[in-house]
Amino acid sequence: MELAHVCMFCNSTHRNRGTPMEEQQRTEELLQGQLELWHHALGYIKSMALKCALDVGIPDAIARCDGAATLPDLLAATGLPPCNLSYVRRLMRVLTISGIFQQQQKQPASSGEGQQEAVYALTPASRLLVSEDGNGQGAPSFGQIPAMSLPLCRTFMTPFLGMHPWIADERAAATSLFEREHGQALWEMTRSTSINDEFNQCMTADTRLIMHAVLTLSPDVFEGVTSLVDVGGANGTAAAAIARAFPHINCTVLDLPHVIENAPAPDEAAGGNTVRFVAGDMFHHIPPAHAVLLKWILHDWNDDECIKILRQCKKAIPIRDGGGKVIIIDSVVGSNPCDNICNETQALFDLYIMFINGAEREEREWKRIFVEAGFSDYKIMPILGFRSIIELYP
């Protein structure tokens, strides 16, 4: 006979669907499922906590406290009201659990009474968030504050609140999520508003770190190269790094006229090693060179646009036997199958870059573009965190 029981939560009668152990397992699965849903639903809180830490200056505050700060230290160093100590404690708990900061041993509280206070320290991540005014605990020349501030600003975040109506619209490909929200494309906005400065600062901060990594971990990428064009190279940060490391390489930066107008003087860009700046459009012409660099350019564009850019690159370089190649720095989704953080970051970035109708790509998707653009071979080196170096040969 099948028994019935009364549910203590809703006073309704349910039929037993299995043994007590099976019912217990199903209940535990339900609770685990709910936990995972809440974890995802509240994920944006981590982003907002990071933004708050940047706005308040918590990484700098910890650096000024010789790399270890209690909550009272943080309040004093940031100028936050002492009455808000409990709020800061809760903020730091989230940022510690999520790995932005670390909590060291506790020390006796200044108030005595046998209490102890947590001591917060920097991690490799938060060391990158110490500003140029920090005391050397971070690496100021590779500071990532501008790179993190841009995706967390209101202009870049609000388009995602309208993701559902956009993704349900059959005309989505014609009007980006960003354009739907702001009435103009990102590239149009960067021509005429202060967002241009924030965007350039973001790209400069990222380029300094990534080019340091490239030149440290894989300098042979530039072996045999005598001239190079950095396409979309803005103020020449990447080209300058290459010119300093390889003075024999003649480096040129190609970008749109309004970008080149604000470019630094050639000698200022490369510390005495000349970098030439040329105004132009990568869709129509790329100056001739031994190699072409595309650092974080192609993920901004759809497949057809990437093919157009790469065809111009192919025209600009010599044949493979002559050493011609295109150096691409971009994500290859799934390039580190055993690294869950890398995989999730790539997937998140793919959804993120969708707001300007860009895309992060798997190797098979890259290969299709390369073939369509007329290239014969390529090599992928996944050494840059969630990004890779791709050498593309004509």
Q: Which residues contact residue 127 at a Cβ distance below 8 angstroms, ignoring those fewer than 6 apart?
A: 59, 137, 138, 139
What's the chain's average pLDDT?
A: 90
DSSP-based three-state secondary structure for 8: coil
The pLDDT of residue 265 is above 80? no
pLDDT in tens, 159-216: 999 999 999 999 988 999 999 999 999 999 988 778 888 999 999 999 999 999 999 9
Question: What predicted TM-score, i.e. pTM, was given to this entire model?
Answer: 0.88
Spatial separation of the C-alpha atoms in residues 265 and 246, rounded to whole Å: 19
- Ranges of beta strands (E only) in the chain are 4-6, 13-15, 68-69, 101-108, 116-122, 227-231, 250-255, 275-279, 291-295, 325-330, 332-333, 361-362, 377-384, 387-393
- Spatial neighbors of 70 by CB under 8 A, at least 6 apart, are 107, 110, 117, 118, 119, 120
Q: Which residue has the tokens 């938060």?
A: 126
Percent share of the chain, pLDDT over 70: 89
Q: pLDDT tens, 127-171? A: 999 997 665 544 457 999 999 999 999 999 999 999 999 999 999
Positions marked active-site: 299
CA dist 267 and 337 (Å) reads 43
pLDDT at 137: 46
Instruction: Say if CB 386 and CB 209 are below 8 A apart.
Output: no
Q: Which residues contact 129 (CB under 8 A, 6 or more apart)?
A: 53, 54, 59, 100, 138, 143, 144, 145, 148
> 7-30: per-residue pLDDT in tens?
444 444 455 567 888 899 999 999
Q: What is the mean pLDDT of residues 31-45?
A: 96
pLDDT tens, position by position, 298-319: 999 999 999 999 999 999 999 9
For each of the domains in the chain, give its residue range(s) and CATH number, in order of start.
Answer: 50-140 (1.10.10.10), 149-393 (3.40.50.150)
CA gap 392, 185 in Å, rounded: 30
